[in-house]
Amino acid sequence: MDLSDIKAVLLDMDGTLVESHAAVERAWRTWSAEHGVDPDAVLAVAHGAPAETTVRRFLPAAETGIAAARQLALQYDDLSDVTAGPGAAELLGTLARRGLPWAVVTSADIRLANARLAAAGIVPPVLVTVEDIAAGKPAPDGYLKAAAILGVPPATCLVVEDAEVGVRAGRAAGARTAGLRGLEADLTVDTLADLARLLG
């Protein structure tokens, strides 16, 4: 895929820019045990989606708000093994050298996003969280908002994701998509370092 006309890069956080898989899984397994829900069933659909969206699939609507807040609470302080994702430094260095604007678009709330990004040593110029939009992934709202803040048409943005719901959100926004670790998208790369080389 020709990336020469890309004007901005919009990055998912968990599993893409930040390696937090173990922390996410620990939180969902603890939450599932507390609520008597099959953790494997939860983990099969939780990745990349807002906590409330996942909770709604397993609990009655009346319990969704409190249960989703509990799930997030389990994640806030679990940062022991949260790091920058493989190739993140290379990609961000390439974006800086090329003068390409970038943003983080995440299904996390602002508290969790700031905690994980800080643990990974990453300070994004633009951060769009689930609290900034009406609908989370797979809706396009987050990516559309990030493109608008950066002042770049969505069609000239590259959305980088590790989850199918995120690729769907990027495509719905009209952006081109890059999937990590075999995820089907317009472009598939193993790591962010591979993407850095393609953008270099």
Give the pLDDT confidence of 131-167 residue by residue, as tens digits. 999 999 999 999 999 999 999 999 999 999 999 999 9
Are 29 and 46 within 8 A, CB to CB? Answer: no
pTM to 2 decimal places: 0.89
> Of the candidates 18, 12, 82, which has an alpha carbon nearest to the alpha carbon of residue 48?
12
Instruction: Walk me through the domains of the chain, giving residue ranges and CATH numbers.
Output: 8-20+82-199 (3.40.50.1000), 21-76 (no CATH)
Are 192 and 91 within 8 A, CB to CB? Answer: yes
pLDDT for the residue numbered 48: 85
Q: How many CB atoms lie within 10 A of CB 52?
A: 18
Residues annotated catalytic, as ranges:
12, 14
pLDDT for the residue numbered 47: 84
Are 79 and 116 within 8 A, CB to CB? Answer: yes
Exposure letters 160-199 (e unless 16+ CB within 10 A, then b): bbbbbbbbbbbbbbbbbbbbbeebebeeebebbbbbbeeb
d(CA 46, CA 31): 12
Strands 83-84, 18-19: pairing kind: antiparallel
107 band by pLDDT with thresholds 50, 70 and 90: very high
pLDDT tens, position by position, 71-91:
999 999 899 899 999 999 999
